[in-house]
């Protein structure tokens, strides 16, 4: 494991209780929309990478796919085990990193990954491995926070905020970079959309990551001093005494040539 993977594992090993029932990731409309209309065969094999507490994996299983849920953090996989049992879903669970997938070539009809690649030490390795384990004609779906392609100030500001909030954060990729990684791995991008998702409470956001008091202050200072273009870009606001903002989320759907 490299140092970035190790930092992510350490962070999520401590925070797994925050990611099960009641977390905003329980809402999987984004993934439902992404798989809608994809021509997947009945009982298609799906791999959900960096599955966290398993919300995306549960969504795929409910849609009739045979799901393998994987993550590098044992405590998160325990949440998946419990969540699958509670929901009566049959899900296989595997512990491994996103950058090295322990499966033969052409194993899966679908590889998905939601709200996790910003922790990866090698997004390029993850895309390359995903392309390898997909069957010809298989589908690759990434949903993650993103930064604008040509707005270095907005990009740098969000990176600072994310890193202070959770030091295991690595990097949010702009859409152009995702497209290029897919192309380098022979995946053809069929859809790339940005939607803004509301973060309703800065304090909740800190709590889910156990942000230190010192770093909370630094983030508040960054918010207070954010320039007008940054405030506009992330729609920073205050509602009922809570700091809110809108997080740009990328949905990418790509296909491995048949």
Ligand X SMILES: C[S@@+](CC[C@H](N)C(=O)[O-])C[C@H]1O[C@@H](n2cnc3c(N)ncnc32)[C@H](O)[C@@H]1O
| Site membership for ligand X, residue 80 (CB under 6 A) | no
| Site membership for ligand X, residue 123 (CB under 6 A) | no
Determine the Cα–Cα distance for residues 9 and 27; give it in Å rounded to an integer: 24
Report in angstroms how near the CB of residue 16 gets to ligand X at its nearest.
Answer: 7
| Site membership for ligand X, residue 46 (CB under 6 A) | no
Q: Output the six-digit token pair for 153.
A: 């100030």
Three-state SS sequence of 114-139: ECCHHHCCCHHHHHHHHHHHEEEEEE
Choice from 63, 80, 98, 226 touching ligand X (CB under 6 A): 98
| Site membership for ligand X, residue 165 (CB under 6 A) | no
Q: Which of 252, 34, 41, 251 is nearest to 137 (CA)?
A: 41
| Site membership for ligand X, residue 110 (CB under 6 A) | no
Choice from 47, 110, 120, 129 touching ligand X (CB under 6 A): 120
| Site membership for ligand X, residue 68 (CB under 6 A) | no
- Residue closer to ligand X by CB (options 20, 230) is 20
DSSP-assigned letters across all residues of 198-242: EE--HHHHHHHHT--HHHHHHHHHHHHT--HHHHHHHT-EEETTE
Q: Which residues are near ligand X by CB under 6 A?
A: 5, 8, 12, 25, 50-53, 55-56, 71-73, 76, 97-99, 114-116, 119-120
């Amino acid at each position: 494991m490299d140092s970035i993977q190790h930092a992510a594992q350490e962070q999520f090993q401590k925070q797994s209780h925050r990611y099960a029932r009641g977390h905003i990731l329980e809402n999987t409309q984004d993934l439902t929309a992404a798989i809608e209309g994809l021509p997947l065969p009945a009982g298609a094999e799906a791999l959900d990478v960096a599955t966290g507490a398993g919300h995306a994996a549960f969504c795929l299983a409910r849609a009739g796919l045979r799901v393998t849920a994987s993550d590098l953090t044992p405590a998160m996989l325990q949440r998946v085990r419990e969540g699958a049992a509670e929901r009566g879903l049959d899900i296989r669970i595997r512990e491994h990193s996103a950058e090295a997938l322990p499966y033969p070539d052409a194993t899966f009809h679908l590889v998905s990954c939601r709200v996790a690649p910003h922790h990866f030490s090698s997004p390029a390795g993850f895309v390359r491995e995903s392309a390898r384990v997909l069957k010809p004609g298989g589908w690759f779906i990434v949903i993650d926070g993103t930064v604008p392609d040509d707005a270095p100030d907005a990009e740098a500001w969000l990176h600072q905020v994310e890193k202070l909030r959770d030091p295991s954060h690595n990097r949010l990729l702009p859409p152009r970079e995702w497209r290029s990684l897919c192309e380098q791995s022979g995946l053809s991008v069929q859809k790339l959309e940005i939607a803004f998702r509301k973060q309703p409470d800065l304090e909740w956001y800190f709590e889910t990551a156990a942000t230190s008091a010192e770093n909370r202050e630094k983030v508040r200072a960054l918010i207070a001093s954010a320039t007008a273009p940054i405030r506009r870009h992330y729609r920073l606001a205050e509602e009922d005494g809570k700091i809110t903002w809108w997080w740009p989320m990328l949905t990418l759907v790509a296909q491995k040539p048949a």
